[in-house]
Amino acid sequence: MPAKKYSKAKLNKFKKQILIKLDDVNLEVSEMKEGVVNQKPTKSMSPDSIYSLHMADAGSDSHQLEKNFLFLSRENSYIKNLEVALERIDSGEFGVCALCGELIPEERMFEVPNATKCVDCKTKDKLNL
């Protein structure tokens, strides 16, 4: 367990914030899934297919579908990261930089609750890649 950590009161504030974000993201994901599953055929599509009859329209439809799946994938990754953040709250590791061991500023943790590195270490880490 890290030597430096946030108080239980602050951890509870972070936890509430993360749970609110989780609810919001889960709602967005549900709406996206519903939009993908219930995609209505347009005028250029055949009635029994989600794909267009015209090649250019079919390409646009395919691109839109791929984009929707990409957004779903990204949101699902974010949900997993938020769930890991909740686990780090429970273990007392939340808000502690994985590289330097210092507390990550509270403002950063509210904006990016799945952060595991302080800004300085994150910057150094990106420069080393």
pLDDT at 18 over 70: yes
pLDDT at 32: 81
CA distances from 102 to 3, 52, 66, 86, 96 (A): 9, 55, 40, 19, 6
pLDDT at 70: 87
Mean pLDDT over the full length of the chain? 83
pLDDT at 41: 52
pLDDT at 2: 44
Residues 24-49 pLDDT 10s: 999 998 888 876 666 655 554 444 55
Residues 64-99 pLDDT 10s: 778 888 888 899 999 999 999 999 999 989 999 999
Single pTM value for the model: 0.73
